[in-house]
Amino acid sequence: MFIGHYGPAFGAKAAVRRVPLWVYFLAVQFMDVVWSVLVLLGIEKVRIHPGLMQGSALDLYYMPYTHGLFGALGLSILYGAAVALFFREGKGAVFLACALAVFSHWICDLLVHRPDLWIYDDVKVGLGLWRWVWISLPLELILLAAGAWLYARFVPARRGGNAWLWGFVLLMAALEVYGAFGPPPASPTAEAQTALLAYGVLVVLAALVDVSRARVARIPAPA
């Protein structure tokens, strides 16, 4: 799953607004950011297998550190704790929102991956909805649209703010359609490098979209 991961990012921002949207965008792809780095270092492994599944040509046969259940939980806690350090108030809510945003990646991957999400020993799980692009593609677009709707509903916009938001959502949807029907990656290295570039660009664009929204009103401390 790619674009579908960002639905929970929008939803998390609607729930805990003091955290910037770009932080949530990085959170929901944090597992894959670390995965990309480990692939480039030769620690985790992937093969490009065109035709493996309709929705993905990636044979993710070895990624226990980032996409194993315990690795995912560890990365979630690490990210949530790191972000919470930057906030004076509401640290618990910030930690929980960011940690859940990171772990939502594993839940979303559980839906679309083949059984390649490591639990223990040789036990791996995955429902494999990528086998049917007519299921996985609408699912990703629905997740994205639902999260964006929550963001638009609960994070007030300045003038023209919703135009920026929905333009951004359409751009992400176009990227997902291209990824579903475009050519497979040239190599594992190319896939990891492209993924890091895409995540970085989307984080920057998310920050710009967030600027178009109204600031969170500060609640005065009780007397």
pLDDT tens by residue, 84-103:
999 999 999 999 999 999 99
**What is the pLDDT confidence band of residue 180, given thresholds at 50, 70 and 90?**
confident
- Domain coordinates of the chain in residue numbers? 3-211
Tens digit of pLDDT for each residue in 95-154? 999 999 999 999 999 999 999 999 988 899 999 999 999 999 999 999 999 999 999 999
Do β-strands 117-120 and 123-125 pair in parallel, antiparallel, or remain unpaired?
antiparallel
Do the Cβ atoms of 157 and 213 come closer than 8 Å?
Answer: yes
32-86 pLDDT, tens digit per residue, is 999 999 999 999 999 999 999 999 999 999 999 999 999 999 999 999 999 999 9
State pLDDT tens for residues 2-12: 899 999 999 99
Q: Per-residue DSSP letters for 66-119?
A: HHSHHHHHHHHHHHHHHHHTT-SS-HHHHHHHHHHHHHHHHHHHHHHS-S-EEE
Mean pLDDT of the chain: 92
Assess whether pLDDT exceeds 60 at residue 220: no
Contacts of 74 (CB under 8 A, 6+ apart): none
**pLDDT at residue 37 in the model:** 98
What pLDDT score was predicted for residue 162?
A: 86
What is the token pair recorded at 102?
A: 């990171």
